[in-house]
Amino acid sequence: MTTATLASNVAFVFFLVVYFGSREFKKRTHVFVKKYIDEILFVISFGALAGSLIYSNIIGFPPCELCWIQRIFMYPQVLIAAVSLYRKEKLAVYYALPLSLLGGMVSLFQSLTDWGIGGSLLPCTAEGGACSRVYVMDYGYITIPIMALTCFVYLLTVSWIYKKSK
């Protein structure tokens, strides 16, 4: 999953460069996102849900307190996007924005404490605490909280593009 995260991060940076560099690409992106917003939100949030369950239930990494908080902000988005997709309402984006913003903040906080940036504000992030354990560290930066942050950033970006396309 870390290789997929790395590949998606590279693709995302490339996307941003082209998005902000080409008016035509920006227009096409807006049309695409406006048409498929619920599908995009569902795929991203479902991928995050599946990834977190694979790490905890198949690989056996117990989720820490901050991971549970991130799940609280991610898991409902799968159901919200699915219902919006089924009903063809395109309302999931309005719930994705605040949920992704809050979940992303928790992911960013955990990532920063993993890297030793900032102090430990919570007992679980203190050295030896459950949230301080780094089960995955690939490519020098990809941890489980970074994978979650990646999904939250993608959800925020797609939601922002959708709002700009209206």
Question: Is 16 inside any structural domain?
Answer: no
Q: Is residue 117 part of a domain?
A: yes
Tally of domains in the chain: 1
User: Per the domain annotation, does 19 fall within a domain?
Assistant: no
pTM score over 0.85: yes
Asked, for residue 66, whether it belongs to a domain, the answer is yes
Residue 124: which CATH number? Answer: 1.20.1550
Residue 66 CB burial class (10 angstroms; 0-12, 13-18, ≥19) = buried
Residue 130 lies in a domain: yes
Residue 156 domain-assigned?
yes
How many of the other CB atoms lie within 10 Å of CB of 35?
12
| Backbone CA torsion sign across 12, 36, 47, 63 | positive
What letter does residue 138 receive in the DSSP assignment? B
pLDDT tens-place values along the chain, 166 residues long: 889 999 999 999 999 999 999 999 999 999 999 999 999 999 999 999 999 999 989 998 888 888 899 999 999 999 999 999 999 998 899 999 999 999 999 999 888 887 777 666 665 554 555 566 778 888 888 889 999 999 999 999 999 999 998 7
Q: What is the span of the domain harbouring residue 106? A: 24-164
Give 113's DSSP letter.
H
Q: Is there a domain that residue 1 lies in? A: no
